[in-house]
Every structure is written in C-alpha cells, then in structure tokens.
Amino acid sequence: MTVILQAKNIEKYYGNKNNLTRALAGISFDIEAGEYVGVMGASGSGKTTLLNCVSTIDTVTAGHILIGGRDITEMRAETLAAFRRKALGFIFQDFNLLDTLTAYENIALALTILKTPPGEIDRRVLEMADILGIVGILPQYPYQMSGGQKQRVAGARAMITNPTLILADEPTGALDSKSARTLLESLQRLVRERGATILMVTHDAFSASYCDRIMFIQDGKLFYQLVRGSDNRKLFFDKIIEVISLLGGDSHDVA
Amino acid sequence: MMSPSLALRNVKKSLRDYGVYFLTLTFGVCIFYIFNSLESQQIVMELTSRQAAALRTLDKMMGIFSVFISCILGFLIIYANRFLIRRRQKEFGIYMILGMGKWQISRILVLETVLVGAISLFTGLLLGVFLSQGMAMVTAKLMGAAIGRLRFVFSPAALRSTIFCFGLTFILVLIFNVGMIQRQKLIDLIYADRKNEGFKVPRLTLSVALFLLSLLCLGAAYAIMLLFGLPMANVILLAAVALGTVGTFLFFFSLSGFFLRLLRQNKGLYLKNLNMFVLRQINSKINTAYVSMTFVCLMLFLSICALSSGVGLAGALAGETRRNAPFDASLTVQAPPAGIDPARVALEKGVDLDAFAKEYLTLQYYDVGVKIPLNTGEHAVEAPIYFLKLSDYNALLSRQGLPPLVLGPEEYAISSNLPKEWPAAVRDYMAGDSGLTINGVQLRTSPARLEESPLVTSAYWAFELTGIARDQSLTAADLPVIKSALHINYPQAGEPYETLCLNALSSLELTAANGSRLNPSLETKARVLEGSNSTTTTVAYLAIYLGIIFLLASATVLSIAQLSETSDNIRRYGLLRQIGTDEKMINGALFAQILIYFGVPLFLALIHSLVGLKVGNDLIRLVGDKDIWSSGLFAAAVILLIYGGYFLATYWSSKNMLKKE
Ligand SMILES: Nc1ncnc2c1ncn2[C@@H]1O[C@H](COP(=O)(O)OP(=O)(O)O)[C@@H](O)[C@H]1O
Ligand SMILES: [Mg+2]
C-alpha cells in the first residue's frame, strides 16, 4: 500500500513569548491510500489544529508533512492554493456551502476553479451525486436542504476532484443521528468504491466506528491507536467506548 | 492616554476602508470651494462695472445654491460614515471587552473623525484652490472679460464658507457617532456580523417577463422624447419621465434573473472559472440592490445631461462672443431713402470720435428690392437682401484681420450669420440660384461659398441677408439706402472708452432727409456679452455644479452599497479561498462583480443620455449653433475621473476587506 500522508514529528505553538500554548507536541503518523482514519480526543487536545496543519490552512511550527510525497511545509503560498484545490477535499462541520449557489453549482464550483472543460463537469457532478444519493436535490439551494443533505453536497464537492486526501472536521457535528448515519455510509462508499482516503475528526464514537483506524490525541500527542481489522462495526464501537472510558471521558462525547 | 495614537493607528490601518469616505469629502470640499470662489476670481480679469456686477450676481447665485448642495454633501458624508461605523462595530465591541468605557471609545472615534475630516478638508481645499486658478480663465472667457495680469486667486470668503459648511457636517457626524456608541449594547457589537439574512431567488419566468416589460417602457419613453422633442406638453413629458423611471426600475429588478437564464444556456461560459459565482452573487443581491441601482442610474443620467448641457452652453456662449460682436460698438439706423452718415453727423455736432475710437467705419446698405425665398423644411420665409459695396465689405473684413473678397463684374456674394439650419437653407438657395437683376444688370452668386463673417455688433439675429456686389453695380444706379451703420473699435478694451462712447452716441440725434427723427440703435460688445452671458454663464455653471454633485452622490451610494455587500461576502470569499481558489481568480471575481455594479447603471444611463442629449441638443441650438455632442466629451472625462475613481477605490477597499479576514 502506498503512503499518502506522512506526518513527521509535527509541532504547533500558538501565542507569544509570554503566553505560549503548545497545541501539537510532536505527532508522527502515516496514512495509506484508501484508508478511512478517525481522530478523537478531548476538547482542546489539538484535533482541529492537526487538521488545519494537514489541510495547509495553517502552518506547522516544526516538523514536516508530506502529502503524496510532497512536503507541504515547504511550499509557497501560491503553490499551496494550487495544491489545496488539486490534492485536497474539505468537509466542514458547518457545511460551508455557498448560500447563493444551488447544490449542483456548489459541487461544480470545485471543478470550475480547476478549469475543467465545461462539457465534462455535468457528467462528473451527476456521477458523484448518484453515489451520495443527492441527485434529487441538485437544483435546490442550501436553505432548502436538510443538514444531512447539505453535508453530502459538501462531501460531493470534496470528492469530485478526485483528491489525494479528504479532510473532514466533525462532519456529523451538526447532524441528527439519522442524517449522520446516511452521511457516514456515503463516505464509506466513497472509500470502498472510489478508493478515497479520508482523515476525519469526530466527536462521537458512533461516527468513529465507521473508520478503519482511530488515532486518539491527548495534549497534542498521539496517545493511542485503535485498528479495526476484521471487527464488525458493533464490536469496533464497543472497543472505542472502552478506550474513551479509559481516557476518563464521557462515553458519548469526548470533544 | 493612548487614544490619540490609537486613533492615528486606526486611521492608518483602515485607510483603504476610509477611501470612499475620504474621496467624497475631498471632492465635495474641492467643488464647494471652487464654485464659491467666483467673486474673488475677478482679480485676474479686467471687468467693466457691469461685468463686475454680473459676476457678483453669479457669485451670489452660487452661494444660495450652495446651501442646497451642502445639504446633499452632508447627507452623503453621514451616509458614508454610517457604513464605516457599522463595519467597525465588532472592533468597538472588543475594546469594550478589554474594559474600555463608552466615553473612551467615543473619544477614539471623535479623534478619528476629526483627523479624517481635517486631512480631507485640507486636501480638498488645496485641490480647490489649485483648480480655481484655471476656473478663473474659463469664467473670464464666458463673461467676455479680458484676462489681465496673471495672479494667484484665493478666496477667503469661500474658505470660510467651506470650513463652516463642512465643519457643521463633521459636528453632525460626531454627534451621530458618539450617540451610536452610547446607545450600543456589548452583545450587539460582538455579534454584529453574525446576522444572516434570508435569501430569496426571483423566479426566472417572472424576471424574463419583467425584463421585456422594462424594455417596452424604456422604448416608449425614448420614442415619446424623440418624437415630440422639447419643449413638449407637460402631460406628455410627465408620461415620458414616468415611463422612463418605471422602465429603469424594472430593468434592474429583472436584469440579473434574465441574464442568469441567458447565460446558463451557455454552459461553456457559465461553468468557466468563477463566472457562476459572480452571476449568483449579483443575482442574490439584486433583490436589495435594484433600488439603489435605479437611483444611481437616474442620477447618472441627470449628471451626464447636466454636465454636457452646462459645458455645451458655455461652449456655445464662447463661440457666440466672436460671432455677434465683431466691433466694440455698432450704431445702426434705418434711414431710407437717401441714408445717412452717422459719423459725419456726429462730427458736425461736435462729438469727438477720436476720443474713444481708434478706428471707425460707416457702411451703407442698398435696397435693390429683392427678396430671397428660404426654406429650412420647417420654416419658409422671404428674406429681404440688402447690398453692401465690395470695398466697404472688404474694409470690414480687413478690420477683423480677414482676407478680402474678390468678385467679378457680374457676380455677387451673400453674407449671413443666421444660426442653426438657416445657413444650409441659404446655401440651398445659392445652389439653385437663377440670379438677380440690379438696375438691369444680371448678377449671379459667384463664390459658391456663403460669407459668414459677422457684420455688426448686436444682441439679436436679424432675419435678413446681406448681398455684396462690386461698387459700380450699386453706385451706377440711384439705389435707395435702407440702413446705415457706424462701427467703432476702441483703442483698447475697458471701462473709460465704453463710458465715453455711450455718453457721446446714445444721445446723438439723427434726422432723416424729410426731417423726421430717426431711431438709431447702439450696441456695444460689452453690453451684448453681459446681457446674454451672465445669465447663460449662471445657468451653465449651475448645471455643471449640479452635474458633478449628482455624480458624486451616485458614485458614493453605489460604492457604499458595494462595500457593505463585500463585508457580507467575506464569508463567501473566505470559503472560495479554503477550497483552494486561486487568489487571482478571487480578485477577478471581485473585480467583475464591482465592475458590473458600476458598469450596468452607467451603461443604461448612457443610453438614456443619448436620447436626452439628442432632445437637449435641439434646445441648446436655440441659443447657439454649437453642438452639444462635443461637450459630451468633457462630461465623459469628468465622469471617468470621479466615477472611475470611486470604482477603483471600491475595488481596493473590498480587496483589502477580503484580505484582512
Ligand atoms: N488560534 C489559536 N490561538 C491560540 N491558541 C489556539 C488557537 N487555536 C487553538 N489554540 C489552542 O490550541 C489547543 C488545541 O486546540 P484545538 O486544536 O482547537 O483543539 P480541539 O479541536 O481538539 O478541541 C487549545 O489549547 C487551544 O486553546
Ligand atoms: Mg475542534
């Protein structure tokens, strides 16, 4: 299996000399192509910081991050933007869809900024919408959609460019359990059917149980890893709950 | 305390945010000063007492008008300020959290307002003083005054009233700002940018129907204007204005929906770069923007018309001066049948012509009993033609520094300086000329060219033609003299000669051969120019003044509307950046969006203006035959400068706002 993401001892400090916060305290890990990796940890443990650094929205203080073999910590600003739109896909907790655009247009936007030939766009949008089960809502505006539908549209937008890596920060955070389940199943299909690689920060064990591997973070350090292996989802879920209670957190919500 | 330096830092930091506010203030102050400094401009002119009085009246008119203008400017400044404050509510909220009291924040705000006010007042005044030097030359030309020694023009009175008016406005702004801070609740300040309005999309079919309706309305309004022309009956004019306004309103109301539909058909264009985003941006805001768009479009239309007519009028005036006043003074008298020589009579009565005349020239007009039919298509008249001797005419030409006319023995020339379409009618007549007979000799028009040099100083057009024939043709016969004229040039322009001339000649009694009293008319160049020029100059200046103010108003409103929208858009542009959109592409989208907002109202206003000016042109041509279109160029330059300046300021400010987040 090829390694898609390689984090080498990354550190991140916030603040100034007098008031320093160490959000990431030297984390190293690899993610392979086609893996569905979850990140869990208590609130303030550094999950969002980690995701922001990986997603090139923020910069690391020390260490290196290689995505698809390229070191993003040494790229210049313009290269980063280009890298971001070509190699990465994003799903945010609060959807971040453009309210002025329809679902179709929101998805297509990811392609138009890549200067994809217009003839190709239509086909690819429909294909992706089919996988995520949102063909029916393509002509609708975000304000006409439910939270789950919005998040699947965001997923489609993240996936349509065939990115090397999809980054999701608590994508189920704003969803009810039924919508969350639909979204998680859709993401799983993306991994299984299209070979997508996903790095997902999540706050609940249920969402995490869809992943292939969970990384637990505490105080900016990698604290524990849980690999699903051949377990079914129910069994994996129980193991996750076990680790969370070990961590001393609330079994339902660790974020 | 830290607040003065904090205020300075704030102003520096948000210099680009302040851009539009600053522009409005500076342009406002500059224009205000220029138009209030008219009276002091006379130090570079050599004015007769009547011209000076006219200039005072003009100055007073501008002063009265400026009260109205300062209200508009005050409103604009407060409007622009309100936007700035709204944008910074969150910043104030943070100050409050940091423990600053409301009065402390007010103090910062007061300092900022005073600082920006002082800087723009100073810049505007500097610009105004500089530009008013050139303005003095223009005023002199329009008033028909000679330009004297070049001197620095500065008007303390204008300075005072500018500082007074704008000082008052600043105080209003201060009261508004402080009041706003005092009324604020912390919670509102912090969540100031959290408000998310609902968002509605117009139905496309409705948009298309309304768009077609708007075109219909505009077409009808244009047709009415072009068909009837000015002046037209009030009811019809009102209908045209109403149709035009409704049409404009509907146009903006439906435009984006219509274009959205049109462009979406073209996938290649719609799905290219951020086109889709830009179009949707505009489509989403047009719901609230169409009112300001309509306002801006109509204001721009008024501005273009006012500017072009003002400048056109001024231009016509300047042309007229040369045309209607070839001599410093002209005395004409109708005295058939033998004519009279006013100069000889004057000398006989002991008038010392040399006291005020450097040179004088007496002309006799011979009546050959011929009338010439003229037809302009609209009007048809039988214009009488009186003849001048070639030698007299050439003397007249040489006084104006023009080359002499040459005529053959059987030729005559026609001179006319009638306005508008009449010269063409005379040329038409000349083209089909069958000749005329003087004393049994057949003469034909020889130079196919129409002589257009002015023959007399007069405030009015005389609806008669003048023929020119060789001296023998006229003197051989005993033709009656219908009119005599005495033309005088002073040794130099100025008051003393004018007074001498008027005193000597206005009381000159002339009697006809049969003993009856004659009624000579005496016109001087100065009087001709003052009479028409001071009123026309006033109208022209008022039009230009208003035009510029309208332009400022429309640009400010548009700019502020755009900037407020950009602050709402920060989230959207931020999202584009997050998904990795090129910075160049983002800037391009922003540029396109603002360009469309500025361009579309201007575009429609230009089309309105084409119709408006076509109609206005006919009106201006009643005054002089100068075309209004050339002055459109001036209007275009002013618009490019001011409107373009606002466009760029808006773009830069918006870009800055997006960058900061
Ligand atoms: N922009 C920032 N400035 C200063 N400190 C920050 C910033 N972002 C996060 N932190 C700090 O870094 C730590 C990790 O935060 P975060 O990554 O958001 O945690 P999580 O997402 O796991 O809740 C926290 O202590 C937080 O206070
Ligand atoms: Mg977080």
φ/ψ of residue B375, rounded to 5: -140, 115
User: Residues of chain A whose pLDDT is less than 70?
Assistant: 1, 248-255
Å between B254 CA and nearest CA of chain A: 17
Q: In the predicted model, what is the mean pLDDT of residues B213-219?
A: 93
For the sheet with A88-91, list strands across it. Answer: A88-91, A165-169, A198-201, A36-41, A213-218, A221-227
What does pLDDT average to over chain B?
A: 78
Nearest Cα neighbor of B346 from B518, B505, B497 is: B505
The pLDDT value recorded for residue A207 is 92
Helix (H) or strand (E) holding B446: none
**Residue A192 in contact with residue A223, Cβ under 8 Å?**
no
The pLDDT value recorded for residue B198 is 44
pTM recorded for the entire structure: 0.70
Q: Which residues pair with B363 in a beta bridge?
A: B485
How buried is B494 (Cβ within 10 angstroms: 0-12 exposed, 13-18 middle, 19+ buried)?
middle
Is A162's Cβ below 8 Å from some Cβ in B? Answer: no
Q: In the predicted model, what is the mean pLDDT of residues B578-602?
A: 89
Helix (H) or strand (E) holding B366: strand B359-375
The pLDDT value recorded for residue A138 is 93
Per-residue pLDDT tens digits for B538-587: 778 888 888 888 888 888 888 887 887 766 688 888 888 888 888 888 99
The pLDDT value recorded for residue A93 is 76
Inspect the interface and report whether the beta carbons of B578 and A101 lie closer than 8 Å.
no
Inspect the interface and report whether the beta carbons of B267 and A122 lie closer than 8 Å.
yes
Residues of chain A with Cβ-Cβ distance to B281 below 8 Å are 100
Is A122's Cβ below 8 Å from some Cβ in B? Answer: yes
d(CA A43, CA A41) in angstroms, rounded, equals 7
Q: In the predicted model, what is the mean pLDDT of residues B104-123?
A: 84
Nearest Cα residue to atom 2 of ligand 1: A14
Q: Which of A92-96, B23-27, B46-50 has the lowest mean pLDDT?
A: B46-50
Residue predicted with more confidence, A210 or B309: A210
Helix (H) or strand (E) holding B450: none
Q: What sign does the CA torsion over B613, B618, B619, B623 have?
A: positive
pLDDT band for position B478 (cuts 50, 70, 90): confident
Residues of chain A with Cβ-Cβ distance to B582 below 8 Å are 78, 81-82, 85, 113
**Which residue type, as a one-letter code, is found at position A86?**
K
Domain boundaries, chain B: 1-195, 329-489
Q: Which domains, and CATH codes, for chain A?
A: 34-61+75-247 (3.40.50.300)
Is B195's Cβ below 8 Å from some Cβ in A? Answer: no
Asked if the peptide bond before residue B337 counts as cis, ω within 30 degrees of 0, the response is: yes
- With 80 as the cut, is the pLDDT of residue B601 above it? yes
The pLDDT value recorded for residue B626 is 55
The pLDDT value recorded for residue A253 is 45
Per-residue pLDDT tens digits for B326-341: 778 888 887 666 677 7
Residues of chain A with Cβ-Cβ distance to B267 below 8 Å are 118-119, 121-122
**Over the range B344-382, which residues count as b (16 or more CB within 10 Å of their CB) and which as e?**
ebbeeeebebeebbeebbbbbbbbbebebebebeeeeee
d(CA B315, CA B323) in angstroms, rounded, equals 13
- What is the secondary structure of B98-129 as a DSSP string? TT--HHHHHHHHHHHHHHHHHHHHHHHHHHHH
Å between A154 CA and nearest CA of chain B: 11
Q: In the predicted model, what is the mean pLDDT of residues B380-407?
A: 82
Mean pLDDT highest for which of B260-269, B333-342, B593-602? Answer: B593-602
Q: Which residues pair with A24 in a beta bridge?
A: A12
Asked if the peptide bond before residue B403 counts as cis, ω within 30 degrees of 0, the response is: no
How far does the centroid of ligand 1 lie from the alpha carbon of residue A239, in Å? 27
Tell me how far the alpha carbon of residue A244 is from its chain's centroid: 21
Q: Which residues pair with B517 in a beta bridge?
A: B511
With H, G, I as helix, E, B as strand and everything else as coil, classify residue B142. Answer: helix
The pLDDT value recorded for residue B182 is 77
The pLDDT value recorded for residue A251 is 42
**Which residue type, as a one-letter code, is found at position B645?**
G
Which residue of B266, B271, B283 is the best one to mutate when testing the A interface, meaning the one whose CB has the most A CBs within 10 A? B271
The response to whether residue A41 sits with its C-beta less than 6 Å from ligand 1 reads yes
Nearest Cα residue to atom 1 of ligand 1: A14
Å between A140 CA and nearest CA of chain B: 11
Q: Which of A135-149, B515-529, B612-626 has the lowest mean pLDDT?
A: B612-626
How far does the centroid of ligand 2 lie from the alpha carbon of residue A204, in Å? 13
Residues of chain B with Cβ-Cβ distance to A90 below 8 Å are 578-579
CB neighbours of B505 closer than 8 A, spacing ≥ 6? Answer: B329, B331, B346, B351, B522
Q: In the predicted model, what is the mean pLDDT of residues B29-47?
A: 82
Mean pLDDT highest for which of B219-228, B419-428, B489-498? Answer: B219-228
Å between B98 CA and nearest CA of chain A: 17
Which residue of B264, B270, B276, B661 is the best one to mutate when testing the A interface, meaning the one whose CB has the most A CBs within 10 A? B276
Closest-CA residue of chain A to B578: A57
Phi-psi region of B68 (alpha: psi -120 to 50; beta: other; left: phi over 0): alpha
d(CA B537, CA B156) in angstroms, rounded, equals 23
- With 70 as the cut, is the pLDDT of residue B508 above it? yes
Q: Give the nearest ligand 1 atom to A42 CA.
A: 22
- Which of A96, A105, A115 has its CB closest to that of B276? A105
Per-residue pLDDT tens digits for B604-618: 999 998 888 877 776
Residue linked to tokens 């755009």: B562
Q: Give the nearest ligand 1 atom to A46 CA.
A: 17
Q: In the predicted model, what is the mean pLDDT of residues B285-291?
A: 69
Cα B570 to Cα B200, B313, B574, distances in angstroms:
19, 47, 6
The pLDDT value recorded for residue B525 is 76
Residue A46 DSSP label: S
